[in-house]
Structure 1
């Protein structure tokens, strides 16, 4: 489903001469994805159109469509790329740390640059348009919370096997989900109350560490 504004001739209504010849296809595709990701963090979701992306990238709209069949396909790819930078897996050295330290590292958000208000509005827009953009909404969840749960689940399972904690295997998935729910503030509150004050970095850290403490005490051998 495309935005009606996409039917306009080109960026700012000006004719362009086709794709830049100095860029190979992979570099051009990477540039388009980078621009789309930047716009998602800077402007309202509805303003991230194929025309806007083409204009920012210095390309024609036709060039963008040569790489991505639709706006949804392009934005899905961009969201996947953004998500990969928000929650990071442990490196080989960090996997040797205690479970507390491993969880603390995993539950740190590497927030992409951009206005917090736009990020919240972006999430609100995706929720409101989940039926119109089902793949986009599903990928946002799978590559955000879904990926993080996978990382946390792996470390909890390792701790179970080593005897660091005691947890029934049947409760592993639920335990990972509950730890995330404790560690992060409920985004729904901010979505329903736009004036709700965002936690500062110190409060975010205090909540994360307290959640880990409660979790470990509940699973202590």
Structure 2
């Protein structure tokens, strides 16, 4: 059970993400976030030493929640194609959602002047892709996949899933319907298994 302090910290991060999405990092202020969460700026500084620390914590918290949800999907019993399809569908829906695109723009906007972007990329996604690599390693061991570097395999899978990222960040992407997500997920899994699937 979460303590009152943990619940308060989570509420601050959730509110901060909303503010950052709406106005961007530079225009957002700790006072603005405090007013919206219902407290003083001093309270925020009891939890986070700076706006930068708050942004990174909020980003990592969102990534952790997603990682937990995705790992449950991947670990659900089923054959490898089914597991991969579930994972890719979930990832495509996440990274193509307007909320994700907005917060990624915020992270990118501070990437040139702080370490937040790099830390989020490395820490925020590391657990998911380490778990995927571990699953791929197991599939290599049982002969479902060809012998290869599971980290490299995971990187290729990630690249296929991120194919629309630049277009979306630049505002040139269209909304991803369930049908489009299904079609793209199937295509990605087919390509991946064509490259790495064990010959039968």
- Regarding TM over 0.5, the answer is yes
Return 5+ residue gaps in structure 2 as ranges.
Answer: none
| 2:83 maps to 1:102 | yes
Aligned to 1:198: 175
Equivalent pair of 1:166/1:219 in contact (CA under 8 Å): yes
After superposition, residues 1-221 of structure 1 pair within 5 angstroms as 24-87=4-67, 88-91=69-72, 94-107=75-88, 108-109=90-91, 111=94, 116=98, 119-134=100-115, 136-168=116-148, 171-192=149-170, 194-221=171-198
Cα displacement string for residues 47-106 of structure 1 (whole angstroms, at most 9, x for unaligned residues): 432111100111011111111111111111111111123343434994532111221222
Deviation at 1:119, TM superposition (A): 4.2
* In structure 1, C-alpha distance between the alignment counterparts of 2:47 and 2:15, rounded to whole Å: 14
Instruction: Determine which structure has more spread, i.e. the larger CA radius of gyration.
Output: 1
Larger relative contact order (CA 8 Å, sep ≥ 6):
2
TM-score, with length taken from structure 2: 0.81
* Higher helix fraction (1 or 2): 2
Return 5+ residue gaps in structure 1 as ranges.
Answer: 1-22
* In structure 2, C-alpha distance between the alignment counterparts of 1:52 and 1:102, rounded to whole Å: 42
* In structure 2, C-alpha distance between the alignment counterparts of 1:93 and 1:205, rounded to whole Å: 16
Equivalent pair of 1:37/1:82 in contact (CA under 8 Å): no
